[in-house]
Amino acid sequence: MILGFNDEFIPAILAGTKVHTIREGQRWRTGDVAEFYARAQAPDRYEFRAPLPVLLVQELELTAEGLRVDGRLLSPPELLALARADGFATTEALLAFFAGKPLPLRGQLVHWTPLRY
């Protein structure tokens, strides 16, 4: 299945510092194969890395209270670690990326490495 990314995230994925992605909805399953595309919805889309298996999918919920993974509210240090592993420099940058979405935002954390929260 195609995972589409903004160009800004590609260097972090290729460097191995972005090790998962947040997706709205419930379409991803452990064992799916993730195909990494830039500009996935555009005519000039391109695959920028080889496909990888999805090793884990965790449930995610962003509310005014904070971010929950598999029902557990993350502490501020855990939230910062998640933000950095998702390609953001700070927690604030992660939250700003989703600022236009209505809360609660429910989705999935799609992992292609063994990292877990």
Instruction: Tell me the CA distances in angstroms from 30 to 26, 39, 50, 85, one per residue in order.
Output: 12, 24, 18, 19
Domains defined along the chain, listed by start: 2-111 (2.30.130.30)
Instruction: Tell me the CA distances in angstroms from 52 to 7, 17, 36, 55, one per residue in order.
Output: 19, 15, 8, 9
Distance CA 82, CA 42 (A): 28
Residue with tokens 């557990």: 72
Could you give phi then psi for residue 52, rounded to 5 degrees?
Answer: -135, 150
pLDDT, tens digit, 9 for 90 and up, residues 25-81 = 999 999 999 999 999 999 999 999 999 999 999 999 999 999 999 999 999 999 999
pLDDT at 40: 92
The token pair at 48 is: 């920028």
Of all residues in the chain, the percent with pLDDT exceeding 90 is 98
Distance CA 91, CA 45 (A): 29
